[in-house]
């Protein structure tokens, strides 16, 4: 490929966002890019294939002053985890044609420095490439660097490695035992669907909540949850939980926070455990909802733990060893919601906060 000037469509963040993000906070824009590696440079020219949409990205749409969180820059493309193909490389670790994942721009082509973008080469291509934005995504170096600086001050923890997050959050944080009762909120999402399947594999009784009939059906038919309910159709979340957990909940894997969290607290069993993975119901509120039932933690001796997966990076090999055969054998399924075309990326991202995605939200920019 010669040194060519190319059109490069991009998704630009127009300004910092308050409240729920809107598609109009972003702009689909044409720019020009020169697809070359300057003499002596170690940059890599990428053709972007898949982009990941994740709840944590909401925090980056704010102007976070006095914080080490990397806000997006208004006027520039949104960035996030993605899968790409190497067109040209000034770095000897990457060759033309390599498939990679890492931090890329929301655009057709990106020119990146591998270390700054935490590029990682994809070796196993016998699974859908998009899985590298979700169930299989992980990168040691990236996390060790990025999370260390982001997480201290971040109002929300990084969320862009759903597979290992589900694994670590369930097995390490929840200390689950066979036969225990498990509740998962946002259960059809990128993380929740895996937590439910892991819990079933272990012999737990598993109930999930989601926000549409389609998702609720999928929880039972696709992921094997014992029970599932649509939280939007429940007048009384406490009563809904009592319907499915007459003896209480041993483990709550919380992805939503807020009212559901409060309802769960009064339904926990003695010595229950709560893994706090995320609070998507709260990210767009100016002031988060108050949680009123924390007294339950005392009477029931509950252990509640916030976690970020980077603290458990040593488990990644063990996770891969477990998950890849399960995926190939069809024992673990992973549902993605793939929006076709970069122009649909803003809608896909915004949709996360209204629960429009069914499974892990991905944007397909280009097939390989």
Q: Is 82 exposed, middle or buried (0-12, 13-18, 19+ CB in 10 A)?
A: buried
Is residue 6 a contact point for a copy of itself (CB under 8 A)? no
Cβ count near 149 (within 10 Å): 12
Span interacting with a copy of itself, options 4-12, 95-103, 227-235, 297-305, rule CB under 8 A: 297-305
Could you say which of 78, 119, 129, 279 contacts a copy of itself (CB under 8 A)? 279
Is residue 257 a contact point for a copy of itself (CB under 8 A)? yes
Nearer to a copy of itself, 10 or 282 (CB): 282
Nearer to a copy of itself, 56 or 198 (CB): 56
Helix (H, G, I), strand (E, B) or coil at 164: helix
Could you say which of 40, 299, 314, 330 contacts a copy of itself (CB under 8 A)? 299
Minimum distance from CB of 161 to a copy of itself (Å)? 14
Minimum distance from CB of 239 to a copy of itself (Å)? 14
Q: CA 145, CA 148: separation in Å to the nearest integer?
A: 6
Q: Is 213 exposed, middle or buried (0-12, 13-18, 19+ CB in 10 A)?
A: exposed
Nearer to a copy of itself, 2 or 298 (CB): 298
Rg (CA), the chain: 21
C-alpha atoms less than 13 angstroms from C-alpha of 228 in its C-beta half-sphere: 26
Nearer to a copy of itself, 113 or 288 (CB): 288
Q: CA 15, CA 49: separation in Å to the nearest integer?
A: 26
Is residue 308 a contact point for a copy of itself (CB under 8 A)? yes
Could you say which of 35, 166, 207, 302 contacts a copy of itself (CB under 8 A)? 302
Is residue 152 a contact point for a copy of itself (CB under 8 A)? yes
Q: CA 135, CA 117: separation in Å to the nearest integer?
A: 20
Is residue 220 a contact point for a copy of itself (CB under 8 A)? no
């Amino acid at each position: 490929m010669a040194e060519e000037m190319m059109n490069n469509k991009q998704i630009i963040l127009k300004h910092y966002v308050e409240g729920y993000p809107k598609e109009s906070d972003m702009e689909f824009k044409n720019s020009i890019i020169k697809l070359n590696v300057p003499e002596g440079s170690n940059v890599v020219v990428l053709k972007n294939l898949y982009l990941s949409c994740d709840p944590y990205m909401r925090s980056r749409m704010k102007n976070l002053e006095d914080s080490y969180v990397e806000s997006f820059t208004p006027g520039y493309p949104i960035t996030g985890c993605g899968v790409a193909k190497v067109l040209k490389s000034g770095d000897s670790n990457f060759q033309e044609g390599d498939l990679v994942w890492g931090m890329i721009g929301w655009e057709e082509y990106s020119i990146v420095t591998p270390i700054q973008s935490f590029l990682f080469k994809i070796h196993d291509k016998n699974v859908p490439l998009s899985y590298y934005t979700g169930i299989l995504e992980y990168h040691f170096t990236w996390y060790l660097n990025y999370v260390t600086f982001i997480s201290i001050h971040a109002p929300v923890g990084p969320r862009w490695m759903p597979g290992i997050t589900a694994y670590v959050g369930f097995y390490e944080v929840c200390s689950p035992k066979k036969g225990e009762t498990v509740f998962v909120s946002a259960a059809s999402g990128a993380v929740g669907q895996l937590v439910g399947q892991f819990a079933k594999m272990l012999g737990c009784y598993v109930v999930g909540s989601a926000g549409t009939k389609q998702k609720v059906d999928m929880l039972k038919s696709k992921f094997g949850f014992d029970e599932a309910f649509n939280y939007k159709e429940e007048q009384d979340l406490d009563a809904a939980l009592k319907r499915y957990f007459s003896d209480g909940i041993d483990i709550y894997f919380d992805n939503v926070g807020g009212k559901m969290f409060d309802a769960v607290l009064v339904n926990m069993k003695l010595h229950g455990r709560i893994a706090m993975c995320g609070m998507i119901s709260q990210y767009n509120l100016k002031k988060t909802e108050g949680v009123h039932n924390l007294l339950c933690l005392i009477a029931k001796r509950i252990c509640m733990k916030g976690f970020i997966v980077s603290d458990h990076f040593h488990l990644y090999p063990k996770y891969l060893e477990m998950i890849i055969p399960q995926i190939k054998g069809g024992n673990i399924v992973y549902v993605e919601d793939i929006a076709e075309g970069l122009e649909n990326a803003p809608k896909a991202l915004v949709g996360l906060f209204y629960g429009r995605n069914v499974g892990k939200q991905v944007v397909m920019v280009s097939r390989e």
